[in-house]
């Protein structure tokens, strides 16, 4: 008798290939899940958020609509924990991601080192990984009051704003880092950061645990044959960039990695301390790691 699969809506981050590999290779189904990708939310997170406040961003809407949607998604460590603290969902702490990050400028820019970003507004997506990374990484080079950001929105919007000359610098994540490199943009600073998955508080445990196991299966497949899956990056490229350039996906690299280890509890305390110092703690409520973490 065939097993009945559980319907699940997933909004990929698009910073890595695990979701796409898990779908292509049937890893979600093997874990009992019938996954449908939420392209509306995903493409929304890539678009402009210039006129949106917190709680109105595309990734917030599944939690702030009249009826909460059961959508599995992910964000940076800081953003996921802050979102949960503000009452939007719970952080899944049984695994986490590691993703590249970088700030780019145009090739004709006079900016050549991190110190040159003094008082230069960097395009970010408000209260997301591209935002939190800026003070976190630049503070070793500049005082906080000289680190500036401008809310441009998702990665397609940030890359376009940089190319169009709307901003002098942009905070980028995969795959827009590889896109920027192929377009000849200049990298000023780069590092990595943690990402965490994010679910409604009432999400069924079998969905959450099955989803994470499927991502881990995909990680093993990527480690065994990365080249096989690099063409899947085409799914993460925003529509406005699909025909913009002859993208060489073979050079896009690995992007975000899935780490099959529990997120350290001390990461919560560190996030709250940093966010408070940066003046981004206005919406924080609950600060208890136990109640902010998804529990089976």
Q: What is the pLDDT along the chain (296 residues), one digit of tens a residue?
A: 567 899 999 999 999 999 999 999 999 999 999 999 999 888 888 888 888 899 999 898 888 876 667 899 999 999 999 999 999 999 999 999 999 999 999 999 999 999 999 999 999 999 999 999 999 999 999 999 999 999 999 888 999 999 999 999 999 999 999 999 999 999 999 999 999 999 998 899 999 999 999 999 999 999 999 999 999 999 999 888 987 778 999 999 999 999 999 999 999 999 999 999 999 999 999 999 999 999 75
What distances in angstroms separate CA 280 from CA 22, 50, 112, 135, 274, one per listed residue? 35, 17, 28, 11, 9
Using DSSP's 3-state secondary structure scheme, residue 182 falls into: helix
Cβ 105 vs Cβ 168: under 8 Å:
yes
Give the pLDDT confidence score for residue 15 in this predicted structure: 94
Give the pLDDT confidence score for residue 66 in this predicted structure: 67
Rounded Cα distance, 284 and 290, in Å: 15
Rounded Cα distance, 43 and 53, in Å: 18
What distances in angstroms separate CA 119 from CA 59, 108, 169, 269, 274, one per listed residue? 29, 19, 11, 29, 20
- CA dihedral 252→26→97→64, nearest 10 degrees, is 110
pTM over 0.85: yes
What distances in angstroms separate CA 122 from CA 117, 142, 176, one per listed residue? 8, 14, 15
Give the pLDDT confidence score for residue 247 in this predicted structure: 94
Cβ 78 vs Cβ 129: under 8 Å:
yes
Using DSSP's 3-state secondary structure scheme, residue 280 falls into: coil
Going along the chain from its start, the domains and CATH numbers come out as 6-98+194-291 (3.40.190.10), 100-192 (3.40.190.10)
Give the pLDDT confidence score for residue 296 in this predicted structure: 59
Give the pLDDT confidence score for residue 63 in this predicted structure: 83
Using DSSP's 3-state secondary structure scheme, residue 27 falls into: helix
Give the pLDDT confidence score for residue 94 in this predicted structure: 95
Block residue for tokens 């959450």: 208
Using DSSP's 3-state secondary structure scheme, residue 209 falls into: helix
DSSP 232: G
What distances in angstroms separate CA 161 from CA 230, 243, 266, 281, one per listed residue? 26, 17, 36, 27
Q: Which of 127, 149, 133, 73 is nearest to 100 (CA)?
A: 133
Give the pLDDT confidence score for residue 93 in this predicted structure: 96
Rounded Cα distance, 290 and 78, in Å: 16
Strand partners, 37: 10
Rounded Cα distance, 221 and 28, in Å: 13
Which burial class, exposed, middle or buried, applies to 4 when counting CB atoms under 10 A from its CB (0-12, 13-18, 19+)?
A: exposed
């Amino acid at each position: 008798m065939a097993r009945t699969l559980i319907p699940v809506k997933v909004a990929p981050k698009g910073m890595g290939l695990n979701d796409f590999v898990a779908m292509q290779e049937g890893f979600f189904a093997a874990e009992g899940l019938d996954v449908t990708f939420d392209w509306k939310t995903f493409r929304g997170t890539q678009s402009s958020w210039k006129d949106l406040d917190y709680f109105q961003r595309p990734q917030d809407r599944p939690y702030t609509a009249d009826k909460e949607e059961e959508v599995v998604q992910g964000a940076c460590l800081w953003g996921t924990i802050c979102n949960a603290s503000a009452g939007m969902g719970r952080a899944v702490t049984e695994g986490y991601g590691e993703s590249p990050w970088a700030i780019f400028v145009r090739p004709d820019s006079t900016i050549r080192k991190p110190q040159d970003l003094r008082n230069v507004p960097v395009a970010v997506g408000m209260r997301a990984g591209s935002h939190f990374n800026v003070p976190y990484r630049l503070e070793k080079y500049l005082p906080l009051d000289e680190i500036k950001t401008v809310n441009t929105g998702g990665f397609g919007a940030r890359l376009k704003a940089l190319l169009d000359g709307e901003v002098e610098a942009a905070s980028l994540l995969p795959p827009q880092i590889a896109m920027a490199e192929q377009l000849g943009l200049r990298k000023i600073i780069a590092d990595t950061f943690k990402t965490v998955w994010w679910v409604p508080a009432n999400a069924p445990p079998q969905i959450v645990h099955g989803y994470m196991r499927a991502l881990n299966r995909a990680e093993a497949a990527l480690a065994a044959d990365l080249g096989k899956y690099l063409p899947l990056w085409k799914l993460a490229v925003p529509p406005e960039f699909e025909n913009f350039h002859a993208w060489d996906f073979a050079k896009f690299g690995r992007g975000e990695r899935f780490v099959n280890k529990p997120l350290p509890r001390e990461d919560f305390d560190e996030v709250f301390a940093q966010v408070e110092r940066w003046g981004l703690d206005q919406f924080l409520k609950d600060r208890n790691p136990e109640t902010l973490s998804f529990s089976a």
